């Protein structure tokens, strides 16, 4: 098992150009390319395990993929291929849930599975509403757990009112709605990330957005191909924003980061805690991209109970900021953390305790009292974001993170970048 060793850092002042491209948009770009009959051009696709698995799946479904400098050219098949083998999503819940919605209405038989972590994550949030509209889907525990099998069938139009603000659920249902036999509506209780709607609108899909409701018209013909540049992933960039916010006298500029408003809430929280953060050089129309400057300043505690869907992925990293702040910070309404790549409430609290930080677990969150980090050996629990959060904590006092290979799921060059701030290597 690999162990990542990180040494405490002295102050740094640097610019980072190579934050990994956005994972959410990369998955979508690979899958949505199949909705066209022409080649899609994707610049800056994320070459990490999760999104490369999606690309392989798209190839198994019949697409050809060519790489030219920093572009991927995905040419869809004239008809989706019925693959002879299982479609492997690896660690990615996004890929699995989006593909279930995408394939539910496609003629053919498909089996989707993933690694041992994904095999424990609930799929009924997409399987149940899809079955309601006529989808033929099964899996372990009555269709809740993978492997998931799909026999593509005709789908009825629907009105679906999701109880959770989940972009994965919304996206799966929008993809199914594109193949339904009439106009469908999908509503959510709070706006989740909106890349699916934005990208499909760009491709010419007929989607009307009315507040929290998406009205989706079925696709009458193939959509236009995608032509996009994918900005750097704000949830990956956030690890280094955190680094500058906790190492005294440090400053960082993070270049060409995706600044979609549904994705930068964690930066806003860090700002509220006292970090100096500025967005600069903003450009782009549909998905805006810009630079983020972060300067160290003393942090103070914060309470987090709203806009949780906009920062759910960054909560383990925010927990490190809480541990470095003065006062007690609390996270509530974040039960979703229990069904991410690991149970992130339990993983975060267990690791913080090992680092000598006083904290308490709630059913739907946790509280952390700011204190003095002490060097420890912590577990990644097979979860990339837990591994990277505690690697950044290592800049305070040194840290060993067991089972660190999972970082490759989303950010393969994370350790290279970290190593520019302080010694960091895997053993």
Residues lying near ligand S3P in the complex (CB under 6 A) are found at 24, 94, 166-168, 171, 192-193, 309, 312-313
Nearer to ligand S3P, 36 or 192 (CB): 192
Within 13 Å, how many C-alpha atoms sit on residue 318's CB side?
33
Q: Which of the residues are catalytic?
A: 313
Nearer to ligand S3P, 255 or 384 (CB): 384
- Tokens 């002879």 locate to 84
Alpha carbon distances (Å) from 402 to 88, 376, 391: 25, 11, 10
Pairing assessment for the beta strands 227-229 and 40-43 based on DSSP bridges: parallel
Nearer to ligand S3P, 314 or 379 (CB): 314
Q: How far is the CB of 94 from ligand S3P (least distance, A)?
A: 4
Selection from 375, 376, 319, 324 nearest residue 349 by Cα: 319
Cα–Cα distance for residue pair 408/384, rounded to 1 Å: 7
Q: How far is the CB of 286 from ligand S3P (least distance, A)?
A: 16
Selection from 136, 137, 178, 138 nearest residue 157 by Cα: 178
Buried b / exposed e along 255-275 (16+ C-beta atoms within 10 A):
bbbbbbebbbbbbebbbebbb
Angle at 211 between CA 205 and CA 214, to 5 degrees: 30
Cα–Cα distance for residue pair 63/230, rounded to 1 Å: 20
Residue nearest to ligand S3P (CB): 24
Q: How far is the CB of 210 from ligand S3P (least distance, A)?
A: 20
Q: How far is the CB of 165 from ligand S3P (least distance, A)?
A: 7
| CB neighbours of residue 195 within 10 Å | 24
Nearer to ligand S3P, 197 or 313 (CB): 313
| CB neighbours of residue 299 within 10 Å | 22
Nearer to ligand S3P, 199 or 299 (CB): 199
Cis peptide before 141 (omega within 30 of 0): no
Q: Which residues pair with 258 in a beta bridge?
A: 289
Nearer to ligand S3P, 336 or 369 (CB): 336
Q: How far is the CB of 267 from ligand S3P (least distance, A)?
A: 16
Q: How far is the CB of 263 from ligand S3P (least distance, A)?
A: 10
Selection from 351, 274, 284 nearest residue 320 by Cα: 351
| CB neighbours of residue 372 within 10 Å | 11
| Length reported for the chain | 427
């Amino acid at each position: 098992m690999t162990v990542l060793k990180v040494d405490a850092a002295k102050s740094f002042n640097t610019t980072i150009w190579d934050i990994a491209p956005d994972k959410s948009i990369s998955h979508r770009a690979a899958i949505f390319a199949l909705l066209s009959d022409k080649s899609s051009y994707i610049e800056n696709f994320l070459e990490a395990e999760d999104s490369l698995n999606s690309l392989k799946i798209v190839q198994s479904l019949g697409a050809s993929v060519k790489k030219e400098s920093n572009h991927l050219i995905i040419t869809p098949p004239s008809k989706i291929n019925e693959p002879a083998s299982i479609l492997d999503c690896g660690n990615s819940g996004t890929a699995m849930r989006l593909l279930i919605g995408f394939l539910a209405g496609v003629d053919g038989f498909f089996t989707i599975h993933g690694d041992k972590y994904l095999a424990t994550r609930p799929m009924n949030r997409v399987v149940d509403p899809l079955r309601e509209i006529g989808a033929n889907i099964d899996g372990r525990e009555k269709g809740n757990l993978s492997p998931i099998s799909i026999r593509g069938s005709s789908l009825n139009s629907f009105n679906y009112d999701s109880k959770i603000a989940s972009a994965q659920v919304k996206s799966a249902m929008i993809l199914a709605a594109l193949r339904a036999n009439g106009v469908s509506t999908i509503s959510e209780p709070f706006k989740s990330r909106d890349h699916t709607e934005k990208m499909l609108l760009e491709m010419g899909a007929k989607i009307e957005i009315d507040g929290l409701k998406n009205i989706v018209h079925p696709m009458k013909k193939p959509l236009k191909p995608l032509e996009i540049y994918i900005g750097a992933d704000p949830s990956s960039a956030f690890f280094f924003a955190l680094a500058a916010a906790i190492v005294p006298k440090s400053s960082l500029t993070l270049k060409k980061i995706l600044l979609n408003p549904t994705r930068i809430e964690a930066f806003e929280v860090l700002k509220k805690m006292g970090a100096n953060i500025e967005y600069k050089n903003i450009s782009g129309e549909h998905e805006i991209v810009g630079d983020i400057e972060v300067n160290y300043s003393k942090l103070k505690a914060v309470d987090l109970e709203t806009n949780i869907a906009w920062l759910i992925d960054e909560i383990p990293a925010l927990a490190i900021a809480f541990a470095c702040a003065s006062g007690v910070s609390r996270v509530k309404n974040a039960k979703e953390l229990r069904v991410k790549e690991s149970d992130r409430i339990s993983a975060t609290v267990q690791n913080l305790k090992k680092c000598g930080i006083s904290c308490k677990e709630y059913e739907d969150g946790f509280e952390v009292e700011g204190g003095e980090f002490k060097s420890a050996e912590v577990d990644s629990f097979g979860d990339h974001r837990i591994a990277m959060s505690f690697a950044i904590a290592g800049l305070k006092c040194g840290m060993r993170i067991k089972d660190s290979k999972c970082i490759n799921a989303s950010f393969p060059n994370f350790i290279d970048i970290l190593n520019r701030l302080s010694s960091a290597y895997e053993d």
